[in-house]
Amino acid sequence: MEKACPVEPQPVSWVRDPRRWAFAGIGVASVGLGWLGVFVPGLPTTIFLIIASYCFARSCPWLEDRLLRIPLFAPYMKVLDAGRGMSRKAVVSALVSMWSMVSLSCTILFVAGRLTMPIAAVIVLMAVAGTIMILVYGRKPRAAKA
């Protein structure tokens, strides 16, 4: 007896795939936040552009290509080059500036009487997550031993 071959599902077209629309929307929002981060001190730029690049790669590759060619974002997008990582100086600078801003934010909120334990926990946990991401993914790849 011959087995019936299973019916393969029809591929969902790009226009009707809600995941692609969601990725494209998140990517556009991330570019907007990254653009604001260029001008607003304390608002990160690179992480939003990395998120946008990730989302565009999964939804609209031509938008990712366009993002990589925008002169305003070119310095921030160098981090995405294959085989490149952050220099030790960049890692230290990122960590020092991030933790300085976290300390300053918590101090200002405390003095204003608006720092509650849940808010402090969220701020510190986000900074810890950022630190882990920088330390794990930001370092340069090691050269292979000969």
- Delimit the domains of the chain by residue range: 12-81, 86-146
Give per-residue pLDDT as tens, 44-63: 777 788 888 888 888 888 88
How many helices (DSSP H) and strands (DSSP E) are in the chain?
Answer: 6, 0
What percentage of the chain exceeds 90 in pLDDT? Answer: 14
Give per-residue pLDDT as tens, 111-135: 999 999 998 998 898 888 888 877 8
Locus of tokens 């070119």: 74
Give per-residue pLDDT as tens, 91-115: 888 888 889 988 998 999 999 999 9
Residues 51 and 26: beta-carbon distance below 8 Å: yes
Rg from Cα positions in the chain: 21
